[in-house]
Amino acid sequence: MALLDDIEALNKAFSGFGVDETSILSILGNSNLEHKKSLRQGWSKFFSEDEYGFERFDPSHVKSLKLEFKRFRDAVMLSVLHPWERDARLIEKAIKKGPKHYNIIVEIACSRSSEELLGARKAYHSLFDQSMEEDIAAHVKGSERKLLVALVSAYRYEGPKVHDHVAKCEAEILATAVKNGDRKKPIEEEEVIMILATRSKPHLQEIYQHYHKICAKSITEDLEGHGILKDTVECLCTPETYFTRVLDLGLSVDADEESKKAVTRVIVTRKGALVKDVQNKIEGCLKGFYKDFMLGLIARGEK
What whole-number percentage of the chain has pLDDT above 70? 96
Distances (CA, A) of 23 to 13, 42, 74, 180, 294: 6, 18, 21, 58, 19
Distant-in-sequence contacts of 161-170, Cβ < 8 A, 24+ apart: 161/202, 162/200, 162/202, 162/203, 162/206, 163/203, 164/206, 166/203, 167/203, 167/206, 167/207, 167/210, 168/210, 170/195, 170/199, 170/207
User: Does the pLDDT at position 280 exceed 60?
Assistant: yes
User: What is the distance between the alpha carbons of residues 167 and 176, in angstroms, rounded to a whole number?
Assistant: 14
pLDDT tens-digit readout, 185-243: 999 999 999 999 999 999 999 999 999 999 999 999 999 989 999 999 999 988 888 98
Q: What is the pLDDT of residue 154?
A: 93
**Pick from 147, 153, 151: which is nearest to 227 by CA?**
147
Average pLDDT of the segment spanning 126-155:
96
According to DSSP, the residues that pair with 49 across neighbouring strands are 55
- 3-state per-residue secondary structure call for 252-263: CCCCCHHHHHHH
According to DSSP, the residues that pair with 17 across neighbouring strands are 286
Distances (CA, A) of 191 to 25, 93, 195, 218: 59, 29, 6, 19
User: Does the pLDDT at position 1 exceed 70?
Assistant: no
Residue 289 CB contacts under 8 Å (≥ 6 apart), including other chains = 18, 21, 72
User: What is the distance between the alpha carbons of residues 286 and 15, in angstroms, rounded to a whole number?
Assistant: 10
Domains of the chain plus CATH, in order, are 83-155 (1.10.220.10), 156-237 (1.10.220.10), 242-300 (no CATH)
Average pLDDT of the segment spanning 105-134:
97
Average pLDDT of the segment spanning 137-150:
95
Q: What is the pLDDT of residue 90?
A: 97
The pair phi, psi for residue 282, each rounded to 5°, is -65, -45
- 3-state per-residue secondary structure call for 155-193: CCCCCCCCCHHHHHHHHHHHHHHHHCCCCCCHHHCHHHH
User: What is the distance between the alpha carbons of residues 235 and 227, in angstroms, rounded to a whole number?
Assistant: 12
Average pLDDT of the segment spanning 139-158:
95
Distances (CA, A) of 202 to 32, 139, 155, 164, 171: 64, 32, 14, 11, 14
pLDDT tens-digit readout, 256-277: 999 999 999 999 998 766 666 7
Show the CA angle centred on residue 74, arms to residues 39 and 63, nearest 5°. 40
Contact yes or no for 191/207 (Cβ under 8 A): no
According to DSSP, the residues that pair with 57 across neighbouring strands are 47
Distances (CA, A) of 243 to 107, 227, 284: 9, 15, 18
Least confident residue range of 32-36, 118-122, 289-293: 32-36
Contact yes or no for 22/288 (Cβ under 8 A): yes
User: What is the distance between the alpha carbons of residues 180 and 200, in angstroms, rounded to a whole number?
Assistant: 25
pLDDT tens-digit readout, 3-62: 777 878 887 888 778 989 998 888 888 888 888 877 777 777 777 777 776 777 777 777
